[in-house]
Amino acid sequence: MPHILTTCWRLFNPPPPFVSENRRATGQKIQQSPEKTLKKCILTIVPLFLFAMLATPAALYAEFVWLDHNGNTRHTKHPPQPHQVQKYLSSTQQKQQKKAKVDLYVTSWCPYCHKAKAFFKSRNIAVTVYDIEKDRGAAARKRKLDPRRGVPFAVVNGTGIHGYAPERYLQALKAK
Same domain? For 104 and 156 the reply is yes
Same domain? For 16 and 83 the reply is no
Same domain? For 105 and 168 the reply is yes
d(CA 71, CA 68): 5
> Could you tell me which residues come within 8 angstroms of residue 95 by beta carbon, excluding any fewer than 6 positions away?
none
pLDDT on residue 118: 92
Give the mean pLDDT of 44-67. 68
Domain that holds residue 83: 57-89
DSSP type of residue 38: H
Same domain? For 84 and 112 the reply is no
Give the mean pLDDT of 110-123. 92
Residue 94 domain-assigned?
A: no
Same domain? For 37 and 77 the reply is no
Could you say which of 69, 89, 109 is where a domain stops? 89
Residue 154 domain-assigned?
A: yes
pLDDT on residue 167: 92
DSSP type of residue 67: E
Residue 160 φ then ψ, to 5°: -80, 130
pLDDT on residue 113: 96
Closest CA to 173 of 163, 162, 158: 158
Same domain? For 109 and 167 the reply is yes
Q: Output the CA torsion 126→79→88→170 (10° steps).
A: 20
pLDDT on residue 2: 58
Same domain? For 141 and 83 the reply is no
Q: In what order do the strands lie in the sheet with 127-131?
A: 127-131, 102-106, 153-156, 159-162
Helix (H) or strand (E) holding 49: helix 34-55
Question: 66 forms bridges with which residues in the sheet?
Answer: 74, 88
How far is CA 163 from each of CA 56, 172, 173, rounded to the nearest angstrom? 51, 14, 16
Same domain? For 104 and 169 the reply is yes
Condensed to tens digits (0 to 9), the pLDDT of residues 123-149 reads 888 899 999 999 999 999 999 999 999
Condensed to tens digits (0 to 9), the pLDDT of residues 3-44 reads 665 665 566 665 555 555 555 555 555 556 667 777 777 778
Same domain? For 84 and 139 the reply is no
Condensed to tens digits (0 to 9), the pLDDT of residues 67-114 reads 777 666 677 777 777 777 766 666 666 655 557 789 999 999 999 999
Q: Name the domain count of the chain.
A: 3
